[in-house]
Structure 1
């Protein structure tokens, strides 16, 4: 019996690459597309036996061809600050290609934000972004796929690294200050992308168990002051938090960084079932992530 075959979106990215390598270690056939086939990540994947081809998320035909013969697909899309609707369009193209390729199982890594769509405090920008993500989810639910599962992370730990940190937390590196919408005692739901990859492997191996679910995801729940203390110990830098006022929050309501300063961020820990997640995979604590990414963390802050 041939090994399972999988197509991974964002295969050279922070979620796709570790997932590809894990699946190859299991002997699975792994396919993906890359616009930069000569990049270090692409070369590493090819060396591991991953099949890479040219493909464009704006071109359904090329995506369908790249997915030929696969049984499963992992979808992770990109948010574009200058054209937020592009994520929705590309996501629908990926789903259309998966339908045409007769894919049987879909695992999507989206956003916890979709569960907050009915919240009246949502900013216009954040609402536009997560509405697009929910449209992609709905297209999968309405499709012919035998099994589907949505993983919904909140805050990626690697958002603390360059270049992402300067978009989401513009004062953290320059002034050593984290401006946060969180209030004292509230905790962020931190996600290590490697942990998401581990969970996707479990989902692919147990499609019936995880079918039809949207899973809020975090590796650890941690307050901003506790995060900054650990980050400071890892970098030898003293950081401080600034709890934003309502006026501060409203002034950022149309910016990309507002995705980190929307009031709904305060509720993310409430959605997490850490017991279920920790029973499915070994979760990575923030301190473990700092050690694992030590070189890049030091390059970012020192």
Structure 2
């Protein structure tokens, strides 16, 4: 059987991880990129990916990129426009079916493990980013394709350049301001581990068919995270935990603060023994930071 996969949003953290893992497993990868001349896209080309210019909002570009593919990595950005993410996914799934794709792996988000997620997110500014992915999960299940759903944790790439400037801008000046608290374990994941799980699913569709797979490399609290950043950077980091009042005020105007609150407590819904049972090696934060030492701040 031909082993050719279309990887959507290929220059993102997950897309890069998936592309690398599939190429390592001797797959042909069609990498959908907006700008084939962008440095991130060229890096994928240099390791063997076939670049396909396009955008998820342009069905004709998806149709062209998916030709010859029997697998699809479906990975979307959330959008606040009601129903937009599901509509985009429905169009992509329809194209995949018509093109003869057999297996779709869809990456969503860990908070969907919470059976009461809709109630807990009611009125929160970030609800669309999680519930929209739940709507797409429903479409994937009903697609008629062999499907696997991946629910990853909090990306370790958020702690290093360039994303750290958006996620934790104060860390650039040596201060980590957060809403997690000192004792709440966070679901950390190396995007390369996500790639390894996706590649494994495509390699063994019978084992992964119809499965919802949590992908978390480890659960660790803020003091552990800061200790690993300090060791990697060689510099001290000041930590500030927002008060309830600060969380309430900042959360109204900063979606990143609101997002931090949704990351707390997810250990209740993940069985790490089950994650390990897939037999895929998991990367610690320390190992991740060592791989990306040049991007560690402060």
> TM-score, normalization: structure 1?
0.88
Give the deviation of 1:294 after TM superposition.
0.3
Q: Tell me the equivalent position of 1:62.
A: 61
RMSD: 2.3
Give the deviation of 1:130 after TM superposition.
0.9
Do structure 1's residue 247 and structure 2's residue 267 form an aligned pair? Answer: no
Do structure 1's residue 267 and structure 2's residue 265 form an aligned pair? Answer: yes
Provide the rounded CA distance (Å) in 2 between the counterparts of 1:93 and 1:240.
47
Q: Does the aligned pair in 2 maintain the 1:189–1:222 contact within 8 Å?
A: yes
* Alignment deviations for residues 108-131 of structure 1 (CA, whole Å, 9 cap, x no partner): 121112234234355522211111
Distance 1:241 1:134, change over 3 A: same
Distance 1:47 1:172, change over 3 A: closer
Q: Tell me the equivalent position of 2:219.
A: 221
Give the deviation of 1:27 after TM superposition.
2.5
Do structure 1's residue 198 and structure 2's residue 196 form an aligned pair? Answer: yes
* Alignment deviations for residues 83-120 of structure 1 (CA, whole Å, 9 cap, x no partner): 68654443333223223323211111211122342343
> TM-score, normalization: structure 2?
0.89
Provide the rounded CA distance (Å) in 2 between the counterparts of 1:258 and 1:177.
13
Distance 1:57 1:250, change over 3 A: same
Provide the rounded CA distance (Å) in 2 between the counterparts of 1:258 and 1:96.
36
Q: Tell me the equivalent position of 1:148.
A: 147
Q: Does the aligned pair in 2 maintain the 1:9–1:75 contact within 8 Å?
A: yes
Q: Does the aligned pair in 2 maintain the 1:168–1:256 contact within 8 Å?
A: no
Please state whether the residue corresponding to 1:30 is helix, strand or coil: strand
Q: Tell me the equivalent position of 2:132.
A: 132
Q: Does the aligned pair in 2 maintain the 1:5–1:28 contact within 8 Å?
A: yes
Matches within 5 A, 1:71-110: 71-79=70-78, 87-110=85-108
Gaps of 5+ in 1: none
Q: Does the aligned pair in 1 maintain the 2:17–2:193 contact within 8 Å?
A: no
Gaps of 5+ in 2: none
Q: Does the aligned pair in 2 maintain the 1:35–1:54 contact within 8 Å?
A: yes
